[in-house]
Structure formats: C-alpha cells, structure tokens
Amino acid sequence: MERWSTRLADGRELIYYAAAGGARRAAEAADGRRLGGAAVVSEVRFDPLRGEPVAYAAHRQGRTYLPPDGECPLCPSRGGRRTEIPAADYEVAVLENRFPAFAGGDGRCEVVCFSAEHGVSFAELTPERVALVLWAWTDRTAALGRLPGVRQVYCFENSGTEIGVTLAHPHGQVYGYPYVTPHTARALRAVAEHRERTGANLYDEILAAERADGRRVVRESARWIAFVPRAARWPYEVHLYPRRRVPDLMSLDEEERAEFPEVYLDLLRRFAGLFGPAHRDTPYIAGWHQVPAGLVAREREDFALHLELFTIRRGPGRLKHLAGSESGMGAFLNDVLPESAAHQLRKAAP
C-alpha cells in the first residue's frame, strides 16, 4: 500500500492512500483554488456538575450543507470544477477538515473519503478497499496520537441524513480530541474498578459471557466477534471486537486485518437489509473505540479496541428519537430487546 501527502491551497494537509501505487500520482495534482485562511476558533469548557468537557466551534455554522450532487466538495476535480480533492481520481483520501470542531493545536479533525465515486455506500465497497480504509484509519490514529494536543483518536462514520450527515459523498471522519471523551472515561473507571475488585479484565469477561450465552452473537469468525450488548441502548446496536484483546488499531496483527473487511461488510449489509428492500438506506453511526494517550501500562493493557455500530431506526419508517428521558436525564429506554435485535440481524444475512 502507498500513501502520499500534499497541501491544499490554504495549507491544510491532504493525504492519498492507494492499494498498489497511484497515491503519488494523485498528489501531483495541485490545488488551483484561491482559498483564504478560514477564521477557525474553537474552545473547550468544563461542566463541573457533569464532570464533562463541552466543545464550541461557532465557525461550523457556515459549513457546507447538503449541496447538490454536482457541487459535492469531496468528489475529484474534473471537468474544470475544483473541489477539496485536486486529483482527477483517487482511491482513499484524507484531508484536514475545513470546518473543524477542534483547532489551534488543541486537537485535530480530518475527513476520510472512502471512494471517488459519489453514489456508493461503505457497504458497497470491495474488501480490498475496506482493507485500504483500515490502513488509513490506522495510519491517522498513529499520526494524530503523536500530536501534543491530542488525548484520544476516534475514527467514525455517520451515514444517512437522519443521523445529520451534511455531505452525501461516502466519507467518515477522524477526531483527535484534546481530552478523554466522557464515554471512554466512564469505561476506564469501570475497567479499573473491576480489576481492583476481582483481579480480572472486564472486557474479557464481557466477551466470554456473550459467547457462553450465544443469544446476542450476530457473527463470529476466527479472529472477530460481533454481538448485541446485553444492555444495548439503541434498538439495533452491535459491538465488534477482535477476539484477542488489543488497545488500538496499530496493535492488530496481519491475520486480524485480513479478516476484518469481510466481517465488517457483512455487518453493514445486515443493517442495510434489516427492514427489507424498501429500507436499505438504514442510517447508522460506526466508530472505533481506542485507548487514549498518556495512560499507564496497566490501563493501556486493560483496554479493548472495539467498533460500535448502531442505527437510530427502530422499525420500518420509524426513528428512535432521544426524547425527555434520554436527552434530559441520559436515562435510555429501549423499545427492542437485545436478544430480539440479534435474532433479526442474524436473519438479515445478505
């Protein structure tokens, strides 16, 4: 695989990834646009009652919102139209976000374009392309994790307008947070308390319990296991773990990397077919949970890399809205039993 880095007209970094050459050729295309430096100001404040940080980025109010297909900024630059991607073609491209949530040395935000083809979904990619995306995720995790202002790296994809996607092109994002996110902070505390209380690893025990029960397991392979958590918050939610506990994407071995594309594509296609042919645009969020930077060895070793995938759809044409209990109190109420969700996902095999 090949990677090649260049710069856009306003100085932002753009990186091309290719499976068998072509990244350097793509990087030779110069960005001919005249782009002024954007006024990017972000700020993080701390809520003392919740014990959580909140980020502010007012400049994002002006970001591109649902442009027509012919004006997509993530398509290649062709036919005289210049976009965020100067090359006429590419396989996978990663660029600094023009409207980042974090900036100024305190974190970093990037956009990952999975394909030059505008109309495809991640589930329609080839296993070879997914392997390339996995390599890009791994490379960006390592690069952002080395930045002094980054504490945690999150590679994720939002899919579907119901989720809040503002660009239809197949893409995801990488956030380099300047803090440890609340979700991960809670998990770290739970894992540490379980270790102190029992001497065992909480992630290992969760996986062992799911395998022993079996009712919530959706897909298991030689090196990966996907299951609906026993206390799933979303109607259809799947967690995908390597069967060998590792802390981050960089720690996956070659066999785990080789097996991932088939397993992940299978899960996405199950989600797509969950509610039948008329609802194959199932909106979802998928993201990698990785160990934060700066932890002591015991904390790092105890963390388990995993991907969380969920949809906000609870049935055909029905969305799971975060109403009073969820939004106001953070107390989730689920309409679908996890065992039922797993059964339906197993039946939805592509």
Residue numbers annotated as active site: 171
- Residues 159-188 as b/e (b if ≥16 CB within 10 A, e otherwise) read bbeeeebebbbbbbbbbbbbbbbeebbebb
- Residue 298: CB atoms within 10 Å: 10
Query: How far is CA 78 from each of CA 40, 73, 75, 81, rounded to the nearest angstrom?
Result: 29, 11, 8, 6
Residue 194 burial by Cβ neighbours in a 10 Å radius (0-12, 13-18, 19+): middle
Closest Cα to residue 15, out of 30, 29, 27, 5? 5
Q: What is the rounded distance in angstroms from the CA atom of residue 333 to the CA atom of residue 87?
A: 47
Residue 218 burial by Cβ neighbours in a 10 Å radius (0-12, 13-18, 19+): buried
Q: Which two tokens stand for residue 290?
A: 């990785």
Query: What's the half-sphere exposure (Cβ side, CA atoms, 13 Å) at 260?
Result: 23
List all residues 6 or more positions away from 28 whose beta carbon is below 8 Å from its beta carbon: none
**Read out DSSP for 262-296?**
HHHHHHHHHHHTTT-GGGTT--EEEEEE-PPTT--
